[in-house]
Structure formats: C-alpha cells, structure tokens
Amino acid sequence: MRAVGLNNLDIWARSGPPGGRPVYPWTERRLPAVTGVDVAGVVEQVGPGTGEMAAGERVVINPILCCGRCEFCLAGEQSMCREYRIFGEHTPGGMAEFTVAPAGNLMKIPSAVAFEQAAATPVCCTTAWRMVVTTGRLRAGEDLLVVGASGGVGSAALVVGRRAGARVFALVGGPEKAAKAERLGAVPIDRVRYPRFSERVRELTASGVHVAADPVGAPTWPESIRSLRPGGRMVICGATGGERPSIDIREIYQRHRQILGAPMGNLTDFQTVMGLVFRGELTPVIHTVLPLSEIREAHRLFEAREHFGKVVLVP
C-alpha cells in the first residue's frame, strides 16, 4: 500500500451510518474492520494465473467486484451486477500496509503519476463521471449545479463538469470554500448566504441548470429540483444528508424534469477517468495527505466537513 483515499464508506463502517439508518452492507457495525476502497500501491507478490501482472508493478485497484457472467456484466454494466460488491467495503480493504486484490482488478499507473493522485480517483471520480457525463449527458456550454461541491464526489463533479466545458455552479458552505471553488473554475454559491439556493441559480441562469448533481439527499433535493430548467436532469448517487426528501412531484413532471440514479460507475467509466488522470487531463482535488497513523485526525476532519476534496492516507 502506498496511498488510500478516505470515503464516507470508511466513516460509516466505523460509526454506523448517519442517524443509525442501516446502509448496506452495514446493517450493523462489525468491528474490527479494515476498510479502504481507493487504493494505490506496488505489487508485492502474485498468485498463479495472474497473467502479465508481476511484482514491482505500480497499480491502482478498480474497486468494482462483479460476477462477470450475468446479463448486466455481459452488457458492460458491472455496477448493476446482481453480485455487485465493492473492494474495501464488502471485502477487507486498503487501510493497511498490505492488501489482497484480484489481479483482474489491477490497473497499472504510469511512472509520472503519484500514488496519492491515483488513490484520490477511483470511487469519487468514477461516480462523478457516471453522474455528470454518462447518465447526466452534460454537454459543453451547458450549466451544471454541483450540490455538496466540497465533498469527494462533489469536488470530482466540479472538475469533471469543467472539463466537459460546462459552466459549473458549486454549492458550498462558507466564504473559504467558495473561494476554493472559484479557484477551481466554478461559480460558487454559498448555501449559508443562500439557503434557498435555487433562487440564486435563477438569478445566474436564464431558466435554471441543465444538470444538477446532488449526492446529499433530503436536505437539498427540493432546492436542487427547483434549480433545474424545464427538461433538466438531476443525477443522484447517495443520500449523505438523509434519504427521505419532502418534495412535490408536480415540480418534477410538470416541468419535464428527470431524476436519474448513478451510484458508482461501470468499468468503462472507471477506465475513462483513470485514463484522464494518467494523461493529466483531469486532476482530482486533494485536500490533504496524512500518514495512516493519523487516521483518527483524518476521520475527525472528514466528519467535521473541514475538507475540500479528498483526504488521502499514506501507510
């Protein structure tokens, strides 16, 4: 192990899900657990039948585990697999000095790419790409609203949206994060100043955004939906703030709006974002890199929402 990215999954494995709501696979806490989904390192040893993968290779782990045989796998939609699991969530992961992964899930990292960059990419950038590009069909010149833009998925959606040639509105909390969003090329909207942020979106756009990416859920859904122009698409991948929003469905169908699920992505989404990062065409936002021995501080700052982008740990 050379670097591992921290995700909500790691927090929930330790503390239980927010509000005690069961989140698969953690219907209850099962400690001790070794989590760590976003993993980069060097191959120490290979088992039989591992093909061209050899000891000494610098690699990142594709966290998608699937059966490879069902109709969804055969159609290239691995994250729809009936046996879909995530490395480090359903299996022991990378918050360790060594980990074990299927050879087929390893992807070589070019020598110019840092382990920290590679480890900041898999979960959040794959999910953001799936949301914004594959499912949200964002095009150059369109407007994208990113809710929770300082989070892992949010910051990834921001840079993916900018790379797609869109104008990106980044919903963040407080002036410091607003300034950071601006430096990344987005138009910040401070949710502290604009709790009804759809009104601000309407001031800044003609009739709302084409795509809204909302990984937060219940607290932001009503305003995210209202931020969409007629025919606009809201893409969702999680419910970090709660899973039961109070909405008026007429606001959806009367304006031809769509709500689309995009949790994680398929192998093509993963390979696409890794390729972009390897070529320097997409840069994941890294808040800080800490030694693995400071994992307590990493969890603390993550839960206190002090970060903007990924928190990466180095064993």
Q: Which residues bind Zn ion (CB under 5 A)?
A: 66-67, 70, 73, 81
Name the minimum Å distance from CB 68 to Zn ion.
6
Name the minimum Å distance from CB 70 to Zn ion.
3
Name the minimum Å distance from CB 82 to Zn ion.
6
Residues in a beta bridge with 111 = none
Name the minimum Å distance from CB 165 to Zn ion.
34
Helix pair 152-163, 122-129: axis angle to 10 deg: 50
- If you ran DSSP here, which 8-state letter would residue 1 be given? -
Name the minimum Å distance from CB 87 to Zn ion.
15
> Toward Zn ion, which CB reaches closer, 40 or 66?
66
Minimal CB distance to Zn ion: which residue?
Answer: 81
How far apart (Å, rounded) are the C-alpha atoms in residues 27 and 11?
A: 14
Per DSSP, the chain holds a count of helices (H) and strands (E) of 11, 14
Name the minimum Å distance from CB 63 to Zn ion.
15
Decide: 99 and 105 in contact? Cβ < 8 Å.
Answer: no
Length of the chain: 315
Name the minimum Å distance from CB 183 to Zn ion.
41
Nearest to residue 169, comparing CAs of 187, 181, 185? Answer: 187
> Toward Zn ion, which CB reaches closer, 91 or 258?
91
Nearest to residue 293, comparing CAs of 96, 122, 64? Answer: 96
Which tokens sit at 127?
A: 């999910």
Strand locations in the chain (E): 3-5, 38-42, 58-61, 64-65, 85-86, 106-108, 143-146, 167-172, 187-190, 209-213, 228-236, 258-261, 286-291, 310-314
Decide: 272 and 264 in contact? Cβ < 8 Å.
Answer: no
> Toward Zn ion, which CB reaches closer, 150 or 266?
266
> Toward Zn ion, which CB reaches closer, 73 or 282?
73
